[in-house]
Amino acid sequence: MSSKTKNYHDYNKIKEKYNLILKDNNQKIFISFLTENKIIFSNNISFSKTDRNTWLKRLRDSKICVENFDRLISGIITWEDLKKKNNSNAAKFAWILKGNDIKLKMKGRSPWNKGVYGERNSFHNKSHTNDTKRIISEKNKGENNGMYGRKMSDEDKKLQSQRMKTKILEGGFTPNTNNRNTHWEAVLDGIKYRSSWEALYKFYNSNSIYEKLRISYEYNNETKIYIVDFIDEVQKLAIEIKPKNILKTEISKAKIKSLNEWCINNNYHLLIVDEDWIVSNIDSDIIDYQRFDEKTQSKIKKLYEINKKN
């Protein structure tokens, strides 16, 4: 048997071992292809060496990963959210076990930090002044910059790009300029959205969760990450909000195609929200404009005015 054939059989055994773990935990998505440098799952999500090793380690060592794998790899829940939930449950369990002991030791005293939540980190919650930003910039110029004189190889750039895509897919990072035409310009109840239409849809559907679902899609022979506008886990909806003219672009068609496939595989319905859908489904008389910032109020009113004229 050649070394290549032997490696194939070895990785096939490893793949079968992990798939058995997934099957035993009632997961439907499995590993369809595995080599030393790559892993591909049955929903066509793939990772190269570093991230491949990360996922195998999670499947091997993390019970919460295995029990929630379908939701994780489909983007319904992120790894960060899952860890937070697990840590929260662990803390609650610890309190159940040790709470009475802690109460006895406290003997009626208040915790030293009671009522001052967040104050220790107040500095980090403040934006730097322009002067501070200028000083930081000066300190990091030229030879003081950690990357000074270093050039990344094409392979390093690809690895960095893949790691960033994985972070986005898992929910560990959300780009500030996912939609470069809007730049977080709308506010509803003090929360920022990338467009007035998105803020309006959130007002209309309070169950919708913003930019939680992330899926991969193919465009120009390259795998990219698509951050879906909203997901409604109650009504089982995946919602994409775009003007009709943008929906006609090739990149939008590629995104919608992948999102539609995701919906079919996960028993969700795809909802495309364009200007016609908004004015037909959201009655302008029910909109509480005071919950929006002034700029967003103006844009929403203008949308309905244009529709009346047409």
pLDDT band at 310 (very low <50, low <70, confident <90, very high): low
Q: What's the average model confidence in pLDDT over 145-168?
A: 60
Conformation bin of residue 148: beta by default, left when phi > 0, alpha when psi is -120 to 50: beta
pLDDT given at position 182 = 45
pLDDT at 147 over 70: no
pLDDT band at 122 (very low <50, low <70, confident <90, very high): very low
For residues 31 and 42, what is the distance between their CA atoms, to the nearest angstrom?
A: 6
| Higher pLDDT among residues 206 and 147, named by residue | 206
Q: What's the average model confidence in pLDDT over 42-54?
A: 82
| Higher pLDDT among residues 159 and 250, named by residue | 250
The helix or strand, by DSSP H or E, that contains position 49, with its residue range, turns out to be helix 49-61
Least confident of 101-110, 149-158, 163-172, 284-293: 163-172
pLDDT tens for each residue of 5-46: 446 568 888 888 898 999 888 888 889 888 888 888 888 788
pLDDT given at position 180 = 43
For residues 43 and 65, what is the distance between their CA atoms, to the nearest angstrom?
A: 17
Looking at 3.30.300, 1.10.10, 3.40.50, 3.40.960, the CATH number of the domain 186-309 comes to: 3.40.960
**Residue written as tokens 């509803």?**
188
Q: What's the average model confidence in pLDDT over 124-133?
A: 62
Neighbour-count burial for 257-269, b at 16+ CB within 10 Å, e otherwise? ebbbebbeebebe
pLDDT at 120 over 70: no
| Higher pLDDT among residues 234 and 181, named by residue | 234
pLDDT at 287 over 90: yes
pLDDT at 84 over 70: yes
Q: Which range is most confident: 79-88, 102-111, 252-261?
A: 252-261
Could you tell me if 240 and 272 are in contact, meaning their C-beta atoms sit under 8 angstroms apart?
A: yes
Phi, psi of 54 (to 5 degrees): -60, -45
pLDDT at 132 over 90: no
Least confident of 23-37, 109-123, 294-308: 109-123
Domains of the chain, by residue range, sit at: 1-110+154-173, 186-309
pLDDT given at position 105 = 63
